[in-house]
Structure 1
Amino acid sequence: MDSSSPKGRHEALRPDYRSGTCCVCGHLLANHLKEGDGWRCTERGLDARRCECFLRPILTGTEREKEFYDLGWRMNASEREVYEFKKRFRDSYRRW
């Protein structure tokens, strides 16, 4: 881990948090192609049917925004929220 950039303990748990896996369907984000106003999954399921996953843009619809649906990013964001909550709880308990 690079010591020049300050990171919290929660970020050190998963430094390469971008897994490239869709948090909706579990397929690779690279297989979600731009279609209309979002990204449609082009993978096939075990039953040989096309995946029904369709990722809608949040703000602008750029490729960078597609990373919002990354499973690793979501897990890291959840860990960060839990870490921040525990930190606030601990600080408020100490003040009390």
Structure 2
Amino acid sequence: MVYQNQELLYGLLYKAVAQTLAELSQDTKYLGAQIGFFSLLHTWGQDLHYHPHIHTVVLAGGLTKNNQWRNSSKKFFIPVKVLAKKFRGKFLHHIF
């Protein structure tokens, strides 16, 4: 599906990643701040077969609504299971 619709679905990958990170980082349960990040698309896996996925570099904190810097947790920024569930929901929402 992705290979036949690369332009559309790569864009949706980026959109879902950005929305997921922005939404969860602003939640006071995790950080309560606006973060900075950049993402890169990889279209292959370690075995050099087609495997589109996104890598994202995220700052170790962000700005609160009062423009104060807030550091992220030393252990985890946002739990992986939370990120995965939110991303999956957003990506599927954009597809359908």
TM-score, shorter chain, exceeding 0.5: no
From the two aligned structures, give the one with the greater strand fraction. Answer: 2
Which TM-score applies when normalising by structure 2?
0.31
Which TM-score applies when normalising by structure 1?
0.31
Structure 1 or 2, whichever has the larger Rg, is 1
